[in-house]
Every structure is written in C-alpha cells, then in structure tokens.
Amino acid sequence: MEFLISPTTVPLLVVCPTENAKGGTLELFQSVHGWLMVLYERDCRRRFAPDDHWLRKDLKPSVLSQELDKDRKRAQLILQYIPHVVPHKNRVLLFRNMVTKEKEKLGLVETSSASPHVTHITIRRSRMLEDGYEQLRQLSQHAMKGVIRVKFVNDLGVDEAGIDQDGVFKEFLEEIIKRVFDPALNLFKTTSGDERLYPSPTSYIHENYLQLFEFVGKMLGKAVYEGIVVDVPFASFFLSQLLGHHHSVFYSSVDELPSLDSEFYKNLTSIKRYDGDIADLGLTLSYDEDVMGQLVCHELIPGGKTIPVTNENKISYIHLMAHFRMHTQIKNQTAALISGFRSIIKPEWTRMFSTPELQRLISGDNAEIDLEDLKRHTVYYGGFHGSHRVIIWLWDILASDFTPDERAMFLKFVTSCSRPPLLGFAYLKPPFSIRCVEVSDDQDTGDTLGSVLRGFFTIRKREPGGRLPTSSTCFNLLKLPNYSKKSVLREKLRYAISMNTGFELS
C-alpha cells in the first residue's frame, strides 16, 4: 500500500490501495477513507477546519496534470479517492481539460482537416420547451455533446432574423432551464428555508415526467459540458445524490435533512431527546402527505402504518423518515435526471468535487466580482473602447458607486447569471461585450442581424435622452447609449438592472 501523510495541523493518514490490495489491507482502507470523507463532507456543509486544511502542500498541480496525461496510477488514485487535497481551481482546470480532450477524441473540435458534425434544430418561441424536448431527447449521446445550432421561428414557421452562433444556443438553453425549473410547472419544488431546488414529489402528474427529468438532466449536463453557467440553486441533499454520495455506507440522510426542511429536521430530532414515552405521541412508521387535497399515507416499511413508534425504535423512525423525504419520495425523478446528466458528464469527472463545489461548477463562483478581470476580458463595439468616456464612467460607477449586490445584479442583467465563471471572465463564452447603440427604443428590434451589425460598426447618431441600457444575455452583450453625463448613466443603469435582473425562482 502507499502512504500519503498530509502535512496539515492535524495530520491525516490516507491509505491508497494498490490494484492487488485485498483482505485486511482493503478493509483498513475502506474504513479509514470512509471516515475521512465523512469528516470532509461535514466540513463542506459547515466549516470547522481552516480553508487550506485538506490540501497537500507538497503536491504540485502541474505535476499531477502531467501524471494524469501519462495515465499514471498514483495520480488517478488521488483524484478517485482524495481529490480534495488538490486546490479547487486546479481541479476545475483538470475538469475542463478532460472535456476538451474528449471533444478532440470524438471529433467535436474543428481542425484544419475536418469540421465537426452540426445538429440543427428549429424552435418556436411560443413552444420552446415542447419543441426543444421533442427534438433533443432523441439525439444520440455523441450529437448532444456536439455542436447544436438553433433557429427560432414564429408560429407561422417564418424564420427570425438572427445570428447563427453559439449565443443563440445559449439563449435557448437559458430559456429551457428557466421554464423547467419554474416551480409553477411542478417538476421542481423549492426548500422551505433558502428556496433551493429539488425534484417535486408530485411531478408524476405530468404524463411523461420521467422523460422530462432525463431531458432536464441532459440540458444541465450540456450547460456544464460547454461551460455555460446557469443561475439554478440546488438543495444540498440533491447535489449529494447527483454526486452519488448517498450510496456510501457512511452516508446519513439525517445529516442532510436540514438542507430540505430545517423545521422538519428540528421536529424529527426532538423525538430523539423526548424524555417521556414516545408511544404516547401516537406515531406510526408511516408518513401522511396532503396530495392535491387528499391525505395519502406512505408506509416507511411494509405494514408501517400499524407499527407504533416506541422508545426502542424511535432512532430507526428518524432515519426512515429522513430517507423517505429525501430519497424514496423522489427516487424515480432523481434517477431519471442523473441518467440524463451522466450521459453528458462522466461521473468520475464530478467525483472530484464536493456538493458546494458542484453547485459552483453549475452556477459559477460565489466570490465577489473581480472588476479588473472583467475589464481585461471585455470586448467593445460600435465606437466604444477602453478609453471612451462612457466606458471610463461605467467602470468607475461599478467600482465606486455600486454595492456588491448591485454589481451582481449588473452581471446577471448582461449574462443571465449573477456569478462570475469559476476560472474567471477569460472563460466566459461568448465574451463579455459592450456596444454603443445608435437607435431609439422603438427602432431597436433586438439582436437581428441588421441591428447587431449596425451597432458593431457605427456610432450612435441620436440623442440618447431617456433611453435605458439594455442587454442580450445570449451574447453576454450590454447595449449602452452614449450618455452625455456620468450621473445619467448611473441613474439609468441602476434603474435598468433593478427592473430586469433575469431568472428568478418566484
């Protein structure tokens, strides 16, 4: 066996088994590794260790990457069993590198000698979810990972004027995700406390609900695969299932229950501390649920509704109830979504991340926005440039006048996501752009080919007056009038981002 000693303040012994490990050696590894991961996952839920406690300070990420390229067993074991010893940013880089290599292997990257296959789909805006579902759910795994071009048409089948680039697919993906995660559709619900998403137990009212969940999983996987961040906050317990943590013998549903319903967790655990006779409460090993006005009894075990909860079985009752609420109730929906997600994203890729890190992979970084990084990777059109007075005003307003929350609203206004990409704005696709608009509100018909090219190559000729800044999230594009005063820019921008902050859950 191979020993890696972590040089942290509290040394941790990690035993990595060789291919020939067996018997007592393997049992020792499974036990030590299992309890190590319990500690690590609890630290992820609620920090009790210093930020760098889990890192191997003598491990060089560049060397690890080279070892992985050579298929060295040691490097593979580190990522398989103890990925948290590698800094998070380096694991994200490794993930992006793995995606790129797979694209090259599958012939999904354009080269001098070949172009990748392109799948074309036609979508009616009025039936975006229905059309997207029908046309994408039948695609092969290879086609889903490849280039997908979207053409929008109206209800009469007439093409929308538009630019057939990645931005249109990004808009389509964002709109699909916005619709499927809307609680009004009842595919997903939000937790009672922090309003985070998880599959709705009553989503079975949809005739094809399992196919819909598989489709959602594919679209979510496609977003992660392409590095498109989407502002969709998931419940921690659901992310654990997406990572497969619930299959571990050390996994505890009770530990995850607060992420679903903190009040229910408090009520349930109060049973454990109850001093009297639990039988007096009249509980049984069952769970009563109001489903569309009807009371439905779910047995936690066969015959559970006739088995009373006693002081002897109350601990089992707590665990059974937690498991039912987070797993049994939504097991079919979760399995379908995971199947779709893993058809795009290999499970060994996501096992490098904890549940909070997976959320960041989906929705971007939760750190403050680095304006200097954003400025370095901004592209200007329509006569704007880095030294233009309006652009200088804009960056000064964002840095000096806007609060962190307003800066997040600004980013969401332009990109549809309030969080920056994990690896910085160099990885935002399409790049963050600002163009000077030259037309009035009633003349700007959106991102048609004519209006975009007009804005890219000409300077505004009309007084901006009362026009508000607008955006095209599909292109990560801010359309900014050439205001004559800084105070007007600040007022109009603040009003615009407060009136249109993108996808909201409620």
Instruction: Return the active site residues.
Output: 474
The 3-state DSSP composition of the chain as helix, strand, coil percent (nearest 5) reads 50, 10, 40
Answer whether 238's CB lies under 8 Å from 362's CB: no
Nearest Cα residue to 251 out of 34, 14, 12: 34
What are the residues facing 287 on neighbouring strands? 298
Nearest Cα residue to 286 out of 257, 254, 331, 317: 317
Nearest Cα residue to 316 out of 260, 281, 272: 272
Alpha-helical segments (H) within 164-235: 166-180, 209-226
Nearest Cα residue to 177 out of 405, 490, 421, 505: 505
CA distance 95 to 458: 41
Q: How many residues does the chain have?
A: 506
- Is the sign of the CA dihedral 352, 353, 358, 362 positive or negative? negative
Backbone angles phi, psi at 492, to 5 degrees: -70, -40
Alpha-helical segments (H) within 111-204: 128-136, 141-145, 166-180
CA distance 256 to 323: 10
Widest CA span of the chain, in angstroms?
82
Nearest Cα residue to 98 out of 60, 65, 74: 65
DSSP 438-484: -S-TTT--SS-HHHHHHHHH----S--TTPPPEEEGGGTEEEE---S
Q: Which residues contact 6 (CB under 8 A, 6 or more apart)?
A: 12, 14, 54, 56, 85
DSSP state of 397: I
Nearest Cα residue to 10 out of 50, 58, 60: 50
Other Cβ atoms less than 10 A from the Cβ of 221: the count is 23
Nearest Cα residue to 187 out of 168, 208, 163, 171: 208
**3-state SS of 166-186?**
HHHHHHHHHHHHHHHCCHHHC
